[in-house]
Amino acid sequence: RCIWCQKTVHDECMRSSLKNETCDFGEFRNLIIPPSYLTSINQMRKDKKTDYAMLASKLGKQWTPLIILANSRSGTNMGDGLLGEFRILLNPVQVFDVTKTPPIKALQLCTLLPYHSARVLVCGGDGTVGWVLDAIDEMKIKGQEKYIPQVAVLPLGTGNDLSNTLGWGTSYTGEIPVAQVLRNVMEADGIKLDRWKVQVTNKGYYNLRKPKEFTMNNYFSVGPDALMALNFHAHREKAPSLFSSRILNKAGYILGYSFGGSLVLEF
């Protein structure tokens, strides 16, 4: 069984098949970064060449390589299992666990791909998605706008508000196979998402505190729902062992309403 195109042959037929057939990388060829591409990139970098468009043209106009950024701790550790499944269907080099490789470092793989070609699938909750979007903001600061990928979401968290807003659903519990998730990414349409910088300063002539700066997406909550999200996050940070079950997390999310009221921004 070929680990790239998933085709199978009998043992006695394998030698003749290897001579007569070339692996086409199967159904997800437009998402896979071929090993030969990376080998050629390494050679080009040694020769101090950075124009990868000609090299990528051999893979076709439909080639939109996908980078997986999964949080192995999300979804009652479901992210850990998803990492293994994605590594079977794609090139393992394009699958990252963000708890081990920070998004800003993983996204540097985009700089080895043609301009505006890459897509990223974030597997995690709203916090993980925000972490990846912040890393993309850092790419802009570094002058890497041409390499910024489009972002899709596989919701593994508790709230998943952003995922639901973008049409990816409220939660993923394994109800559809990983292969179908990849098909959904290939068929998805791109839309623009507003990202705001909000600076909070304290009034007063003798205030020595530095202004706080927050990044938020184009939706925000004011009132009990925002407070609920904040309290849930605070309690999970204090005792992470108590929030290992998605069902218990949902219950804790609901109980968040009972902790009082204040004004916060959800981002």
- Domains of the chain and any CATH numbers: 31-187 (3.40.50), 196-259 (no CATH)
Q: By the 8 A CB rule, do 154 and 121 touch? A: yes
pLDDT digits (tens, 9 = 90+) for 32-49: 999 888 888 888 888 777
Determine the residue type at 21.
E
Q: By the 8 A CB rule, do 187 and 164 touch? A: no
Write phi, then psi, for 200 (nearest 5 degrees). Answer: -110, 120
Q: Residue 95: in which H helix or E strand, if any?
A: strand 95-97
Instruction: Output the pTM of the full model.
Output: 0.76
Q: Residue 66: in which H helix or E strand, if any?
A: strand 66-70
Looking at the DSSP assignment, which residues form a beta bridge with residue 199?
213
E strand residue ranges, 115-235: 119-124, 150-155, 195-200, 212-217
- Evaluate if residue 262 carries a pLDDT over 50: no
Band (pLDDT 50/70/90 cuts) for residue 11 is confident
Band (pLDDT 50/70/90 cuts) for residue 179 is very high
Considering the chain, what is the average pLDDT of its residues? 80
Between 181 and 247, residue with greater pLDDT? 181
Residue 249 has what pLDDT? 66
